[in-house]
Amino acid sequence: MGAIRKAQEHLGASPVVVEALLPALNVSYFLLDGHRHNFEDYLAAFRGTALPDLGAFSNREEFDAWLKTHFAPPPTGIVHVAGERCALGYARASGQPLLLRLPSVEDLRRPDGVEKKEQLWLALDKAQAVLGSSPEDLEGLHSAALALHFIHEAGCARDFARFLTHLDEPLPPLCSFATRDEAEAWLRNHPRPPNGATVQVGEEVLTVGYQRERDQRVLVHFPSAR
């Protein structure tokens, strides 16, 4: 988020704009809470790199029928459903497939359906104006804007709003289990475990570790700093 910080420095004489950029500045920390792999694929799909094209489907029902016969192992890639280009992700808690709509470059900083956020998007416009045409800075701004699109598409806008309101507090556990066996079964059966998210197991809070290249899964206890 170096580009956002640089823009805030340039816009220091406009405190309202600087404050409006805070969601874009903090979005990367929110994504560490189990969203990482989904967002990596979303970013790669937007840039047109690294992900396979899984095909085109006339509607969601047709896609769902295809997915039932292609779910082992869970696919990752780009799909076209009812004329919309999407990245395929997985819900953090349930593991259900998510279709994450990809914005066009022209619509990158104007996500559909996001209400009462105009101040943020105007601030991003001003950030781009003060940063000029540096490719590195523009890529940083685009990544921040795309992360905000991703949060909206993944249905996490309310969680993100709470995160911004309680930046000094740890995020609540993603889900809770009565026993370690229940937690291990959930982790074992999840198609794409939410790396970095925390789960409550009895009285203990554990962190999900997932290395998807090797399909390695683990629940880790990090001792309290107190």
Q: 165-208 pLDDT, tens per residue?
A: 998 888 899 999 999 999 999 999 999 999 999 999 999 999 99
Label the pairing between strands 78-81 and 53-57. Answer: parallel
Whole-prediction pTM value?
A: 0.85
Average of pLDDT values for 82-109? 90
**pLDDT tens, position by position, 16-56:** 887 878 888 889 899 999 999 999 999 999 988 889 999 99
Which tokens go with 20?
């409006």
**pLDDT tens, position by position, 127-155:** 878 887 777 887 888 888 889 889 999 99
Would you state the pLDDT for residue 215?
93
Please, which pLDDT band fits residue 118 given cuts at 50, 70 and 90?
low
Averaged pLDDT of the chain: 87
**Sequence-ordered strand ranges (E) for 59-189:** 78-81, 84-90, 97-101, 176-177
DSSP annotation of 198:
E
Separation between Cα atoms, residue 219 and residue 58, nearest integer Å: 40
Rounded (5°) CA angle 31-71-75: 45
Q: Which residues pair with 204 in a beta bridge?
A: 201
CB 196 within 8 A of CB 185: no
Number of H helices and number of E strands within the chain?
A: 9, 8
CB 80 within 8 A of CB 97: no
